[in-house]
Every structure is written in structure tokens, then in C-alpha cells.
Amino acid sequence: MSTACVAVIPAAGSGSRFGGDTPKQYLELRGQPLIAHSIAALAAEPRIERIVVVTSADDDRWERYDWTRHGTRLRRLRCGGATRAQSVRNGLAALAGEVAPQLLVLVHDAARPCLLPASVASLIDELADDPVGGLLAVPVVDTLKRADAGQRILATEPREGLWQAQTPQAFRFALLCRALDEAGAAVTDEAGAVERLGLSPRLVRGDASNLKVTLPADIALVSAILASRED
């Protein structure tokens, strides 16, 4: 199979859990919007021929930034949906007719700015001939507790065999389209949609630093990670 890829970044969310008036993908992080760091990590991989960012139709923040460094390789689509799954599916629909059914599509969170280019390369390498596809993930190392309704421990869950899903998640174009069409908006990630087809995506070991910014305190943490890499 070809190792050429396309990356899709769903970025239509309002960041309601984060709070504030600025969608978290546009929060400033080391002098750039958070999403710029995610784009840069993908752009460092030469096999990714195109990076498609899916924003909401009324997003007026994208144009405030200079994206010319990425040239025609970066494309913005105003077709975001109410959910992540809808945004990804709408973005894929816009690419229909432009890409081959077997093209590998990497879907990455706009709010994971610490993605290592080496992790992207490993993901593409390991999925080059995989018929299903897969995702970056890390083994769970903490002890897990299941809570009851009163927020007391109900049980200690075994962590053996458990992995924490990250992004990018990578699947062939046609397979991903079919999976998202059949799953609808009920899934929270692309792997979950593919699993509903009865398939088993491959887990590719990523890096623990590939954190997702969800709460305000996460900004300081990812900023420190990026600063340490620059140093």
C-alpha cells in the first residue's frame, strides 16, 4: 500500500469544558495558537501530503493568523459539525473524489500540541500494510478505581491490557467513511467507529507527553513540555 497520507484536524469545537470565550484551539501557547503546534507536528512528516483543518462555518478566528508557511499543503474547510465525528465525516466528504479509497487518513486532535514527529512516523510505518488501521496509545500505568454513586470506591480495576487512546488515529479513507457513516455521532473517536464494524484497530505505542488540553491547568503543563524541547 502507498505510504502517502492526509491528516484531518477537527477544530469546530467551542471548548465549553475549558471555559472562557476563546475556543481552546485558539488559546495562545508560546506565541502561537494551540492548533498551530498540532499542525506543525504533522507538517514535520513528509509523507503527509495535505493537512485539512475542519472549522465551524462561522469561525472568524482562523484568518487572524498567518498560515502561509505551510503553503498549499494546509487547507481549511468550513464544514464542522456539532460533534467530533460529524466534523471528521464532513471533512472526509469534502475530500471525496480527490483522494484514493486506500489513502491513509490521520485524524489528530487540535488540542494535542505536544505530538512528537517521531510518533507520527512510527504510526505510519506500523500501519503501512495493516488492513484495518490503528492509533497512538500508551499503556495504563496508574491504579484504576471504579466509583459508586456516592463517589466511594466500588472496585479496583485490573489495568493489565488497558491502553489510553491518543491521536493521531489512522485508517484508510473508504473504511473510515463507512465506519463513521454507520456509527453516527455515538462514538468519541475514530477507532470506536471502526470497532463497531467488528474490526480490531492496531495499538501503536505513543509517548506520554502527547497530552490533550482539556482544562486550564493543562496549558501550563504542555507549555513546559514544549519549552523543554526547545531548550
Stated pTM of the model: 0.94
Long-range contacts of 59-62 (CB under 8 A, 24+ apart): 59/11, 59/12, 61/22, 61/23, 61/26, 61/33
- Tell me how many domains the chain contains: 1
Q: Which domain holds residue 132?
A: 5-230
Q: From first to last of the 231 residues of the chain, give the pLDDT tens digit.
A: 567 899 999 999 865 555 568 899 999 999 999 999 999 999 999 999 999 999 999 999 999 999 999 999 999 999 999 999 999 999 999 999 999 999 999 999 999 999 999 999 999 999 999 999 999 999 999 999 999 999 999 999 999 999 999 999 999 999 999 999 999 777 899 999 999 999 999 999 999 999 999 999 999 999 999 999 987
Look up the CATH number of the domain holding residue 149.
3.90.550.10
CA distance 104 to 161: 27
Is 105 exposed, middle or buried (CB count within 10 Å of its CB: 0-12, 13-18, 19+)? buried
Asked if 34 contacts 113 with a C-beta cutoff of 8 angstroms, the reply is: yes
